[in-house]
Amino acid sequence: MPYLFTSESVSEGHPDKVADQISDALIDNFLAFDKNSKVACETLVTTGLTVLSGEVKSEAYLDVQRIARDVINSIGYTKGEYMFDGNSCGVISAIHEQSPDINQGVDRSNPEEQGAGDQGMMFGYATNETENYMPLALDLSHKLLIELAALRRENKDITYLRPDAKSQVTIEYSDDNVPQRIVAIVISTQHDDFADDETMLARIKKDMIEILIPRVRQQLKPELQKLFTDQITYHINPTGKFVIGGPHGDTGLTGRKIIVDTYGGKGAHGGGAFSGKDPSKVDRSAAYATRHIAKNMVAAGIADEMLVQVSYAIGVVEPLGIFVNTYGTARVDMTDGEIARKIEQIFDMRPYAIETRLKLRNPIYLETAAYGHMGKESRTVTKTFNSPEGKQVSKEVELFTWEKLDFVDKVKSAFGLS
């Protein structure tokens, strides 16, 4: 019997995502000036106030207030009427030194013997239902908000948009797990005040359906464009007026959108957030590594869909175990347990090996903090950072290395596939 599946996304202006982006901007700046920095930082944003907290072990000295303000302004919170803007909000720092009790389990004289920065389990997932091996409902939810932000910045076709927004997509699947149609799309977008609420709602709904949806649809392959039928139920700003939003409407905290950050409810999640953590924290690095494994395995034709779990004990070098679930879609004559043993032979999952393989001790994290950490295209960019002492550092870095299909040939060889 056909079934429905739903995923949501939130915009870069959502208060929790504002917090994530500030935390990851701090990570990037620490790593830019000291690649060995150990950082776990949390951000809180609310009406007129940003609070930075956490633990840091680094040789770098940063102007954390300036970094936070730059991020807030770049998102689009630049007006006093938003009751939260980068130029005027208070910024309080309560960042302090990392506990030596934790650090002693991570730092070792031999870098390869680096222990995991925490205990826990991490999951990676991939499916071949989209070109980027992401679940379709989440991929569309992200695309809607990325395009909505582009329209906001263009300020041409739609001129009333503010930074905060959410989306949600419900898809009908057939019994054999093939997407059949989009059942419903929800978009809630913050907007400027209108003189007439009824006119406002009608205009926003018209613009979302007639401007935003076609711009997203034309980015898709023909088989996915067909999912956009005239039978879609649209819920556009279903509560009505949405003028008060962002950190003024809701307090934002780092790490509260972990399902948006990963797979939209598909697969599984170990519970640990990503943003604000340097790569010694396996919550982040091992989640990237398991995504890298799952994506390369599916791309190599081992299965149509795959979930990979890895687990660690704090301070221990070797992972405790690797688990695989192919949901009955394996294309090789092996059990999921046998596939997991093969993965252990192909991918070194020690923390230092993950950092090295995926080039994680680089300032690459701000770009991950909105519209998902997974499913984006790996690319090389040059980023520039400035210290309070006037020192400027430019670094060429590779973003989203865990999205590269650089292990497909190794996987095929290991499994005896041509």
Helix %, strand %, coil % of the chain (to 5): 35, 25, 40
Provide the β-strand partners of residue 168: 8, 186
pLDDT of 103 reads 55
User: Model-level pTM?
Assistant: 0.96
Question: How many Cβ atoms sit within 10 Å of the Cβ of residue 173?
Answer: 17
> For residue 284, how far is the Cα from the chain centroid?
11
Query: For residue 125, what are the β-bridge partners?
Result: 307
Binding residues for K(+): 42
The CATH class of the 3-10+135-244 domain is alpha beta
Q: Name the fold adopted by 120-127+279-414.
A: GMP Synthetase; Chain A, domain 3 (3.30.300)
Separation of alpha carbons 288 and 291, rounded Å: 5
Instruction: Look at residue 102 in the predicted model and tell me its pLDDT.
Output: 56
**Residues 142-189 pLDDT 10s:** 999 999 999 999 999 999 999 999 999 999 999 999 999 999 999 999
- Binding site for ATP: what residues are annotated? 14, 164-166, 241-242, 250, 256-257, 273, 277
First-residue to last-residue Cα distance in the chain: 36
- Identical fold between 3-10+135-244 and 120-127+279-414: yes
Token pair of 393, please? Answer: 């550092």
Positive/negative CA dihedral, 294, 297, 298, 302:
negative
Domain extents for the chain?
3-10+135-244, 120-127+279-414
The count of residues in the chain is: 418
Q: Give the CA angle between residues 225, 371, 276 to the nearest 5°.
A: 165
Question: What 3-state class would DSSP assign to 305?
Answer: strand
The 3 state secondary structure assigned to 49-101 is EEEEEEEEECCCCCCHHHHHHHHHHHHCCCCHHHCCCCCCCEEEEEEEECCHH
- Each residue of 76-102: pLDDT tens digit? 999 999 999 999 999 999 999 876 655
> Residue 100's pLDDT is what?
62
pLDDT band at 1 (very low <50, low <70, confident <90, very high): confident
**What does the pLDDT look like over 240-250, one tens digit per residue?**
999 999 999 99
The pLDDT of residue 99 is 66
Residue numbers belonging to the annotated binding site: 14, 16, 42, 55, 98, 164-166, 241-242, 250, 256-257, 273, 277, 281
Q: Output the known binding site for L-methionine.
A: 55, 98, 250, 281
Query: Would you place residue 192 in the very low, low, confident or very high pLDDT band (cuts 50, 70, 90)?
Result: very high
pLDDT for the residue 198: 83
Q: What is the pLDDT of residues 114-152, one digit of tens each?
A: 888 789 999 999 999 999 999 999 999 999 999 999 999
Annotated binding-site residues for Mg(2+) read: 16
pLDDT band of 283, cuts 50, 70, 90 = very high
